[in-house]
Every structure is written in structure tokens, then in C-alpha cells.
Amino acid sequence: MLETGSQAPEFTLENENSEATSLRDLLSDRPLILYFYPADFTPGCTREACDIRDLHGQIQAVGLRVAGVSPQDAASHAQFRDKYELPFTLLCDPDKTVIRQYDVDGPFGVGVRRVTYLIDQDGRVADAVQADLRIGKHRAFIDRAIAMRDSA
């Protein structure tokens, strides 16, 4: 997992609409909640995505943006996004290049660690949480990010 205060690695990945999306694009006008998840349509990942969906209005209201990253392709992400009405970007990393850059590759290169980063507009990691099976910790992390931005 990247250290708080470190520079988040720049990347360009395809989104659910097969459009190139870079970290720079995502940070163009606001800080970013960047979350990594193992796979579309799995019970845990669906719960996490729906939690973020349910918080999305509050996330936007305090000036944050959200993007999720997993190894699936654009077609899978588009179906996942449509089925669960996800209002945020999903990024495709089938080769796990960015997953490795962000140090969230699973043990022995299998799977993806469930990690959420808060990245400031200058591209620095402001905070992070890793909780592979404790999905509620990610929602609590986002709740704290909203509260911090709301009180600022």
C-alpha cells in the first residue's frame, strides 16, 4: 500500500466506456477517492460499490470525485455500472499494471487487495485504508473523508 504523503503514480486506463482516463484527468478539479477492488459482480465488491453509490451525493457535495479500479474489461464494468446504477467511473486494469504501481496486488500476485486512497489535487496520498474482507471499514473511511472536507 502506498504511504500517506507519497506521490500517487500517474496512470492512464480505459474506463467503462472504453475511454482513456488518467489520474491527471480525475484530479483536474477536485481530490479523488480511488478505490481498488477484486472483481465486478462479486458479493463483497457489489456491496462496496453500492455503499459508495449511496454516499455519492455527499461525496460530490464536499468536492470529491470517486473512481474504482479492478482487472475486468470495459464491457464488464459497463454492465456492473448499469446494473447497480453506479454514478462514478470504473477503470480497467486487466494487466494489473496500476494495481501493482499502487501496491495492491494480492498475495503471490493472485487477486487484488481491497484498498481505498484519498488523493489530493496535487497527486499526494492524503490517507488510505486496506481492509480486504471488512468492507465496512471502506465506508467508514469515506464517511471520515466527507466529514473532514465538510468541516474544512
Residue 110 confidence (pLDDT): 80
- Mean pLDDT per 10-residue segment, the chain (152 residues): 96 98 97 97 95 96 97 98 98 97 87 94 96 83 88 66
Backbone φ and ψ of 20, nearest 5°: -70, 130
Q: Are 55 and 139 in contact (CB under 8 A)?
A: yes
Residue 47 confidence (pLDDT): 95
Selected catalytic residue, list 45, 86, 129, 142: 45
Domains of the chain, CATH where assigned: 12-151 (3.40.30.10)
Distance CA(121)–CA(68), nearest Å, equals 17
- Global confidence as pTM: 0.95
Residue 66 confidence (pLDDT): 98
Nearest to 32, CA basis, from 50, 5, 55, 59: 59
Residue 152 confidence (pLDDT): 61
Q: Does 92 qualify as catalytic in the annotation?
A: no
